[in-house]
Structure 1
Amino acid sequence: MRDPNPGPGTWEIQPTYLIGGQRWHRDAPGFSEAMAQAHEHHQRPRCLCRTDANGLGIDMYVARWADGYIVKRMPDTGSQHAAHCPSYEPSAELSGLGALLGNAIVEDPSTGETTLKLDFPMTKLPGRSTPPAASSTLSSVTTQGNKLSLRGLLHYLWDQAELTHWQPGYAGKRTWNTVRRHLLMAAENKLARGHALGSRLYIPEVFSIEQRNALNARRMAQWSPVITTTNQPQHLMLLIAEVKEIVPARFGYKAVVKHLPDQPFLLDEQLYRRLGRNFESVLALWGATDDLHMVIIATFGVADTGLPTIVELSLMPVTRCWLPIESGFELHLIERLVAEGRSFVKGLRYGQSESSVIASATLTDCGESTPLLYVAQPTHHEGGQSVNTDDPRMPVWRWNPSVEAMPPLPARAARTANHRSPTLEYR
């Protein structure tokens, strides 16, 4: 589904595509022209990371991207690719994504556009009170795969931005500027409630005192279309940012986010109290662990005074490397994987409840094998820990922190000379 070009750093093997009967590497001279021709003539490129008995690879498609073209994988085919391939993705059925594909998330390969169905409003009518918000893991599961909750949308964009992927070459190079750039790229060609998602998505730029006035001018230019006068329907924006603090203000409460020191986001007492109840465990983890970032996704309106007010929100703790985690035990696993230089894809829950068992991570550095790593949570009942796959390439590793120390991790395969050095840009 995503652009298979590498994210912020990769050790993956250079992919080869079959386009119009000719083999192409992504950085070969003429590749851009070959993609344009394939798009014009509705040709399906094939990724040759795996081939059948006839030497044919896996179907891809060409989509417009900004001012050019990219080769993208067909919907829900990521697990068909080799683990070393940039198009590889664990099966959607191993996370909360499986129930959403084709329902809340509908991709059209003929246009390259993806339509998202949201379970939260992007307009607030005058006189209507704030919805039962501070979306929690409990409120998210009511969608049953038909629509995306706020948490589900954040997970989807994080996944599409490949911020769930980790390679040894990423260390020290995944900054907020990188996170922001990849999230905005992930929002391209996405439609929600009849509008381009990117037109309603605000992600703060990296703050600079020297650029303060220019930054504020760009922010207000983006917010100005939704500024609402009294008694008029209020169009809402989406915020994704790192939380600095959520505290009482002189009147009500406010959320202060990183890189936006001049503009707090207001929230009322009802929402503030729901926040404490619904996110008690992740707020406690954030407060106790200095190395964690807390990411907020929220809908907000902008009054004619210029003040932004949050309507609904959800929170997601992430590691210092911006990898999402759910608990202190999962944090321990992810930090160990990063420290040992492992390559993996972090699993996300999307709309599934905390009682559902999902893989915390899938290792991608074990050759043709892609082991699934599971961490038992206190909320899992005894039968919930039985995890089976029909694919022998996906062995299961389990850790139950309440009864054992962390077992040895599956061994990585030796890197070959075909692996590439890290790169920091999509190309």
Structure 2
Amino acid sequence: MRAPEHALEPSEPQVAYEIGGQRWNKGTTGFEEAVAQAHEQHLRPRCLCQRDTQGQGIEMYVARLLDGYIVKRMPNTGSQHATACPSYEPPADLSGLGQLLGTAILENPSTGTTTLKLDFPMTKMPGRSAPPPASSTASSASSQGNKLTLRSLLHYLWDQAELTRWQPSFTGKRSWATVRRHLLRAAENKVVGGHPLLASLYIPEVFSVENKDAITARRLQQWTRSRPTSGSPQPLMLMIVEVKEIVPARYGHKAVIKHVPDQPFGLDDQLYRRLARCFEQELALWSAVENLHMLMIATFRMTDAGLPNIVELSLMPATAQWHLIEDHFDRQLLEKLVGEGRSFIKCLRYNAPTSKVGVSASLTDCGASPHFLIIERQSFNKDESAGDLERLITSEGQRPWVWNALVEPLPKIPVKGRSYIEPLLFKPASGDQLNWGSRSTMQTSRT
């Protein structure tokens, strides 16, 4: 059985749960069995990072994955957790996630599955041309609606994979293998059009000359799902990859993908022209900064000749630490945070327009309350931005940090505080014994 919940990176804070009247420290002997039993008995664990509105731990639920179980936060409860808790996430309204929850993203704690509604097709009718790619600013004509565009799906999976989180101990530990593993895990129990997302999702393995034949065989086996059938809609594959280059081919253009050196992906001339127009800013940034990754999320199909052709795509650059960024200002801020050894969560825009104020990052090392960091850009609607900033004042009266990137240099980052997880006292049911685990120590609750 796999280690439950957030065991994605080393050096995480100690996390404790109440399960069936007992306290368990995550990762200690017997914890995995307790989580499995909670799933079988339909019990709701409680995270003991701090109290909820009823004075208890924060309610969680257990979902079953392919190789074990995972303790997950209940929908829309991430902001109730302590900022140092791995289950904490900024309020959904701080990004574009809020407008998609309950509409494009339907989480069912009873089954542990999440249904996703997409605004792009996952099949292609014979003879029909490809739709235009998602644009860099609006993702598609319906981006203000209640469905996931290609770009917002990438943001969602990045969030779910916890690749938006950063702390100093992660330095040097994120590679493509790590990114791939986290994304595949994030896609588990996600359903699209009644089918598991994993069945259609291709994320390339790390290429190895020694294992080339085995890697190629696994890749081709997965791609058989998209083989054309005469007279029937052709299923499309979805891929998340790192682009090495996009260059002219003998006919049309081709995308060369890192870790897939032996198989280019075709783009027709129309799609290539749209690509250059829609993602001019992203491509310019990628060209100018050597250590950036360029990520592509795309649908593709297999031709009659057995070759992959891209149908629709979206591009987004990422830093050396694999943080998705919008522009040069975003990159400056994140490099500053990483260089100063800060802990933070990168907030993503999803379908929200660039004219709307959004939090770029949320510092999680400033004590009990997060500190929101905002980059003010020329595209902001000035009449709306003042009201948006007022709504971002925390319950403690803390105002967000704002950088007017067009008129001033990067300001000083708010200082670190004491990351605090409230040691919530837990009273067991009569006759039960507390399981403190091998490394746990009892603390007194705050009054």
TM beyond 0.5: yes
Contact 2:50-2:421 within 8 A present in 1 as well: no
1:391 and 2:394 are equivalent in the alignment: yes
Q: Is the 8 A contact 1:138 1:353 kept in 2?
A: yes
How far apart are 1:276 and its partner, in Å?
0.6
CA distance in 1, matches of 2:233, 2:335: 46
C-alpha separation in 1, matches of 2:320 and 2:168: 15
Shifted more, 63-72 versus 105-114: the winner is 63-72
Aligned to 1:356: 356
Alpha-carbon deviations, 1:207-246, whole Å to 9, x = none? 1111111111110010112211455421100011000111
How do 1:124-139 and structure 2 match up within 5 A? Answer: 124-139=124-139
Note the C-alpha offset of 1:414.
4.3
Q: 1:217 to 1:81 in 2, by over 3 A?
A: same
| Aligned counterpart, 2:404 | 400
Are 1:140 and 1:352, in contact at CA under 8 Å, matched by a contact in 2? no
Q: What per-residue deviation string (whole Å, max 9, x for no partner) do you get for residues 135-172 of structure 1?
A: 43224462334210000111100110011111101111
Checking the alignment, whether the CA contact within 8 Å between 2:50 and 2:58 is kept in structure 1 is yes
1:297 corresponds to which letter in structure 2? I
The structural deviation recorded for 1:390 is 5.2
Contact between 1:95 and 1:349, CA under 8 Å: does it hold in 2? yes
Question: Within 2, Cα distance between the matches of 1:141 and 1:165?
Answer: 30
Rounded to whole Å, the distance in 2 between the matches of 1:252 and 1:179 is 31
2:92 pairs with 1:88: no
What residue is the counterpart of 1:166 in the other structure?
A: 166
Q: What are structure 2's unaligned runs of at least 5 residues?
A: 423-447
Go from structure 1 to structure 2 and tell me whether the alpha carbon gap of 1:54 and 1:138 turns closer, same or farther (over 3 Å shift): closer
**Aligned equivalent of 2:375:** 375
Output the CA distance in 2 between the equivalents of 1:349 and 1:4: 25
1:6 and 1:86 in contact (8 A); partners too: no
Alignment of 1:309-324 (within 5 A): 309-324=309-324
Deviations for 1:190-223, whole angstroms, at most 9, x for unmatched residues?
A: 0001110000000111111111111111100101
For residues 13-28 of structure 1, the aligned pairs below 5 Å read 13-28=13-28
**Which residue number corresponds to residue 279 of structure 1?**
279
**Contact preservation (8 Å) 2:131, 2:311:** yes
Q: Which residue does the alignment assign to 2:415?
A: 411
Where does residue 34 of structure 1 map in the other structure?
Answer: 34
TM-score (norm 1): 0.93
Counterpart AA for 2:94: L
For normalisation by structure 2, the TM-score amounts to: 0.89
1:138 is paired with a residue of what secondary structure?
coil
Residues 26-425 of structure 1: pairs in structure 2 closer than 5 A: 26-52=26-52, 55-140=55-140, 142-229=142-229, 231-386=231-386, 387-388=389-390, 389=392, 391-393=394-396, 395-414=399-418
Comparing 332-341 and 131-140, the one that deviates more: 131-140
User: What CA distance in whole angstroms lies between the structure 2 residues aligned with 1:41 and 1:144?
Assistant: 41
C-alpha contact 2:166 2:344 (8 A) present in aligned 1: yes
Please tell me the root mean square deviation across aligned C-alpha atoms, in Å: 1.9
CA distance in 2, matches of 1:92, 1:54: 22
Deviations 1:70-127 (A, max 9, x none): 2110001000000010100000000000000000000000010000000100100011
Decide whether the 8 Å contact of 1:123 with 1:234 is kept in 2.
yes
Contact 2:62 2:72 in 1 (8 A): yes
Indicate conservation of the 8 Å contact 1:131/1:311, yes or no. Answer: yes
Deviation at 1:350, TM superposition (A): 0.5
Q: Which amino acid aligns with 2:405?
A: P
Q: Is the 8 A contact 1:141 1:351 kept in 2?
A: no
Per-residue deviation, 1:68 = 1.9
Percent of counterpart pairs with the same letter? 60
Deviation per CA, 1:29-67, whole angstroms, max 9, x where unpaired? 221222122212211111111125875111111111223
**Cα distance change on mapping 1:359 and 1:195 into 2, 3 Å:** same
Aligned position for 2:437: none
* In 1, Cα distance between equivalents of 2:289 and 2:300: 28
SS of residue in 2 equivalent to 1:263: strand
Q: Give the Cα–Cα distance (whole angstroms) in 2 for the partners of residues 415 and 117 of structure 1.
A: 37
Q: Secondary structure at the match of 2:254?
A: strand
Measure the CA separation in 2 of the matches of 1:416 and 1:58.
16
Equivalent-residue separation in structure 2 for 1:305 and 1:135 (angstroms): 30
Q: Deviations over 1:340-372 (max 9, x none)?
A: 010000010111111111100000011102010
Q: Distance in 2 between matches of 1:245 and 1:150?
A: 20
| Aligned equivalents of 1:115, 1:52: Cα separation in 2 | 27
2:348 & 2:184 partners in 1: Cα distance? 19
In structure 2, C-alpha distance between the alignment counterparts of 1:234 and 1:185, rounded to whole Å:
26
CA distance in structure 2 between the aligned counterparts of 1:61 and 1:14, rounded to whole angstroms: 19
Distance 2:141 2:9 in 1: 32
One-letter identity of the residue aligned with 2:318: V
Maintained 8 Å contact 2:237/2:300: yes
Deviates more, 1:227-236 or 1:92-101: 227-236
SS in 2 for 1:143: coil
Give 1:8's aligned amino acid: E
Give 5+ residue unaligned stretches, structure 1: 419-427
Between the aligned partners of 1:53 and 1:127, the Cα distance in structure 2 is 57
State how far apart, in whole Å, the 1-side matches of 2:261 and 2:163 are: 25
- CA–CA distance in structure 2, aligned partners of residues 213 and 91 of structure 1: 46
Q: How far is 1:404 from its partner?
A: 1.4
Please tell me the residue identity of whatever aligns with 2:56: L
Deviation at 1:303? 1.7
Q: Take 1:373 and 1:411, find their aligned partners in 2: how far apart are those partners?
A: 13
Question: Residue 54 and residue 375 in structure 1: after superposition, are their counterparts in 2 closer, same or farther (change >3 A)?
Answer: closer
> Partner letter of residue 122 of structure 2?
M
Q: Distance in 1 between matches of 2:341 and 2:157?
A: 25
| Counterpart AA for 1:399 | W
